Every structure is written in structure tokens, then in C-alpha cells.
Amino acid sequence: MICMDADACPVTRIAEEIAMRHGIPVTLLCDTNHVLSSDYSTIKIIGAGADAVDMALINLCQRGDIVITQDYGVAALALGKGARVIHQSGKVFTDDKIGGLLMDRHLAKKARRGGRHHLKGSAKRTEEDDRLFAESFERMLAEL
């Protein structure tokens, strides 16, 4: 199964199309602030609250599932459960790299709190970004 943190996820449709071709079920999780519809996926609407969708996704996913998320914390927990995890950029999260990513996130948050650093938001998503995700996701499914 594919579990997706679908709150404002830009690759939902791409992932669904690829999963459909492979015959793999998809569950989209979102909070009550987002409206999703799908002819293929199961949609689970989770009550609003800090990290409610994240925790529901972690409770749902199992060893061997694929998780799509941009949240490093969710990625770490899913890896701990034996899931495979991919970012919306197509970057595959692995056990050997997640610690460094979590440390980078921690240091960036600490710098923001201290007022010493202002980070720009993400760059606008491009067709190239979509292509990279699709290719990486296809490779991940082919390895199963």
C-alpha cells in the first residue's frame, strides 16, 4: 500500500497515476482544512490538530508500505516501521541519511528561533520537479 501525507502535496495525482498502473492501493491522508477527491485512492480525513495527519499516517503504515511525505520526522518514523519513504522531490529517504536531515532541520529551526537567520520559502515547483518525482517513484515501485 502507498500512504500519502496529502495535505497540500503537489504530487498526489502523479503518484496515483503511477500506482494505478502498478495496481497498488493508495490511501491519502489529509486534515479537515483540505478538500480531496479521487476516483482511485481511499481518502482518510483526519481531525485538525498539530501533527494529527502525521500520527495517523504513522499508525496506518506498515512494514513494506511506501510513504510519500515531505516531513523528515514522519519519514524517520515510517523508516522505523520498515516502510520505504519518498519525498515529493523524488529523494528517497534512507536510514543512513535521515539522522543528518533531522539534524539540519533542528539547526534551521534553532536559527529561526534565535532571529539570526531567515530562510526563503521553497522555490516554485516546475515540470522538471514532477518528472524527477515520477522517475524516482517508478524506480522505487520496480524494486518491490
Terminus-to-terminus CA distance in the chain, angstroms? 11
Domain span at residue 98 reads: 2-143
Q: Structure pTM?
A: 0.83
Q: Are 74 and 54 in contact (CB under 8 A)?
A: yes
Q: Which of 19-28, 96-105, 121-130 shows the lowest mean pLDDT across its residues? A: 96-105
Q: Phi and psi dihedrals of 10, rounded to 5?
A: -80, -5
Q: What is the mean pLDDT of the chain?
A: 86
Q: What is the pLDDT of residue 16?
A: 97
Question: Which of 130, 127, 133, 125 is CA-nearest to residue 87?
Answer: 133
Choice between 51 and 41, residue whose per-residue pLDDT is larger: 41
Average pLDDT over residues 5-32: 94
Residue found under cell 499516517: 57
pLDDT at residue 124 is higher than 60: yes
- Between the alpha carbon of residue 127 and those of residues 80, 88, 121, 131, the distances in Å are 32, 13, 18, 6
Tens digit of pLDDT for each residue in 52-101? 999 999 999 999 999 999 888 899 999 999 999 999 999 999 877 765 55
* C-beta atoms surrounding 64 within 10 Å: 11
Q: What is the number of structural domains in the chain?
A: 1
pLDDT at residue 106 is higher than 60: no
Report the largest interatomic distance among the alpha carbons of the chain, rounded to a whole angstrom.
Answer: 49
Q: What is the pLDDT of residue 111?
A: 64
- Type of residue at 112: R
Q: What's the pLDDT band for 112 if we cut at 50, 70, 90?
A: low
Q: Are 26 and 41 in contact (CB under 8 A)?
A: yes
